[in-house]
Amino acid sequence: MLKEFKDFINRGNVMELAIGVMIAAAFGKIVDSIVAGLITPIISLVGLPDFKGWGLTLRGGDKPVIISIGDILNNVISFIAVAMVLFMIVKAMNKMKKEAPAAPAAPPEPTNEEKLLTEIRDLLKK
């Protein structure tokens, strides 16, 4: 069983996945800091309010139930900001990639005349 586990861990795709998760976690922190330090202040300059205090109180018993609409709205706005930052990063990375050289054009297909002449030549050779 230990050997099977060792074989499982040493597979390339498991290690690549682990590395990808670690890089994604580090990259997530970068994107979160861009959103928190750059995008959110710009949004607050535009005049969008902080929705944290918004809520809907339902009374049904001894304890009131509060639905945090403001947190949901803040998270939606944060998601849109993160998606925008990721889009800009991917777009910049795609711009930096070198374009692959164009494949050489395929030679033009022979015309009907050339095909007929080839057939005649082949028949005369027989």
Render pLDDT for 71-110 as a digit per residue (tens, 0 to 9): 788 778 778 887 888 888 888 888 888 777 777 888 888 8
Give the distance, in angstroms, between the CA of residue 88 and the centroid of all CA atoms in the same chain. Answer: 11
CA-based nearest residue to 56, from 74, 69, 71, 75: 69
Amino acid 12: pLDDT: 65
Classify residue 35 by burial, with Cβ atoms within 10 Å: 0-12, 13-18, 19+.
Answer: buried
Which CATH class name applies to 2-98?
A: mainly alpha
Give 111 or 59, the one with higher predicted confidence. Answer: 111
Q: What's the rounded mean pLDDT across residues 18-46? A: 80
